[in-house]
Amino acid sequence: MRRDREPEERYSWTRPGAFEVAKGVFRIPLPMPANGLRAVSTYAIRSGEDLLMIDSGWAVPEAMTGLQDALELINAGPGDISEFAITHAHGDHYTLAVEVRERYGTPIAIGAGEEANILAVMADWDSGYHVQQRHLIEAGASDLAAEFDQWRTGHSHTSRFAKERYELPDRWLHNGEVIDVGHHEVRAMATPGHTSGHVVYIDHAEGIIFSGDHILPHITPSVGFEPVPPALPLRDFLASLESMLELPDLSVMPAHGPAGFSLHDRSLELLRYHETRLSDMLTVVLAGGRHPLDVARGIGWTRRNTHFDALDPFNRTLALNETVAHLRLLEDRGDLAAGVEAGSPVYALP
């Protein structure tokens, strides 16, 4: 979940520029106006005539200007980008690449698992939000679904910007596929969970991993917030976290937050966090909280342990969807049994 009112020092990573994080690798934060995350870190890998961008930013004028200014610092421009390698199809990672491609013909590559999501958004821009509202209604939270819809109309970052759009990429990347960038060899690795087609990119020679939203330093990403979510996104996410422990302990280059932390330490921290959440939710059900809303209200949210009802509609939507994802995983593991009462799911001991 997103955390509000973070100390300003936590956002020093958002200041504009091109910051060298490894030989020939530059972190380029790009602004996300009217969004609590504030910025997304993209990464430029430059070697000889090749310039690969990991993620692109949001298709807003501020991000395009930021990209141009940052690339000037390394004596390049958007027209010099050889290819975009995108971690996943959320707008702050994908849509600026579409705009740059329109201007310069720059090819775009993304994980093959994102095809259904991209096609869904191309067919209906609001498809992802419609899915979330349907999930709220299915969880017995029709009032929250109406609040979420009303809240969304008043927040510009949930609306379509003038240049923001989705198109198909030039190629679909598959697990283990390698992108050569001069002396750099960047390997794509499928990490479903945050989205079905999320991939990370690994540069073993430099000892770094471009983690997108899979591994973040201060927050755990949402799961299944996509137009075509899988049945058990949390199970996928935890399996992808476990796969990180099979890699060397690389230095993490995330999309949001400071870079350069331990892949293994943070992966283990996130695994422990979700096991604790599973245990907490199971405890609430054992105490009589049968409905997903009961469970969401029975545990704290954000690091401040905020009550569910004190969150804004967007974060209550994330919280309830996270609750449902955990309950479904507990059911899948055999710890809970699911039933239906008045058209909504209920949970109890098997």
**What's the pLDDT tens digit per position in 150-179?**
887 766 555 666 567 899 999 999 999 999
Mean pLDDT calculated for residue range 184-204: 97
247/326 same-domain check:
no
109/134 same-domain check:
no
Q: How far is the C-alpha of 7 from the C-alpha of 46, rounded, in Å?
A: 33
Q: How far is the C-alpha of 109 from the C-alpha of 252, rounded, in Å?
A: 21
Structural domain includes residue 307: yes
Domain boundary at 262, 280, 306, which? 262
% the chain with pLDDT above 90: 79
216/151 same-domain check:
no
113/242 same-domain check:
yes
Q: How far is the C-alpha of 45 from the C-alpha of 82, rounded, in Å?
A: 10
Nearest Cα to Cα of residue 244 among 169, 189, 185? 189
Q: Which of 159-168, 242-251, 337-346 has the highest mean pLDDT?
A: 242-251
Average model confidence (pLDDT) across the chain: 92
Is residue 329's pLDDT more than 50? yes
212/309 same-domain check:
no
192/119 same-domain check:
yes
Helix (H, G, I), strand (E, B) or coil at 25: strand
Mean pLDDT calculated for residue range 109-128: 94
Is residue 315's pLDDT more than 70? yes
Is residue 247's pLDDT more than 60? yes
Six-digit token string for 334: 């055999």
257/306 same-domain check:
no
Structural domain includes residue 240: yes
226/320 same-domain check:
no
Structural domain includes residue 63: yes
Q: State residue 8's pLDDT score.
A: 62
Task: Supply the range of the domain harboring residue 50.
Answer: 8-123+159-262
Six-digit token string for 4: 């509000």
Give the DSSP H or E segment for 273.
Answer: helix 263-286
Question: What distances in angstroms separate CA 94 from CA 60, 179, 198, 212, one per listed residue?
Answer: 12, 18, 12, 11
- At 203, phi and psi to the nearest 5? -110, 90
Structural domain includes residue 3: no
Q: How far is the C-alpha of 78 from the C-alpha of 120, rounded, in Å?
A: 28
51/166 same-domain check:
yes
Six-digit token string for 310: 């004190």
Count of the separate structural domains present in the chain? 2
Structural domain includes residue 72: yes
Q: Which residue type sits at 4? A: D
pTM: 0.93
Nearest Cα to Cα of residue 159 among 128, 120, 204? 128
- 10-24, 82-96, 148-162, 244-258: least confident range: 148-162
Structural domain includes residue 192: yes
**Axis-axis angle for helices 142-153, 313-333 (nearest 10):** 140
Is residue 53's pLDDT more than 70? yes
The CATH code of the domain that includes 64 is: 3.60.15.10
Q: How far is the C-alpha of 294 from the C-alpha of 247, rounded, in Å?
A: 39
224/240 same-domain check:
yes
Nearest Cα to Cα of residue 198 among 110, 132, 126? 110
Structural domain includes residue 2: no
Domain boundary at 239, 262, 285, which? 262
Is residue 80's pLDDT more than 70? yes
Q: How far is the C-alpha of 51 from the C-alpha of 236, rounded, in Å?
A: 32
78/173 same-domain check:
yes
Q: State residue 240's pLDDT score.
A: 98
Structural domain includes residue 247: yes
Give the DSSP H or E segment for 348.
Answer: strand 344-348
51/114 same-domain check:
yes
Residue 311 near residue 321, CB atoms below 8 Å: no
Question: What distances in angstroms separate CA 39 from CA 83, 272, 317, one per listed residue?
Answer: 21, 27, 22
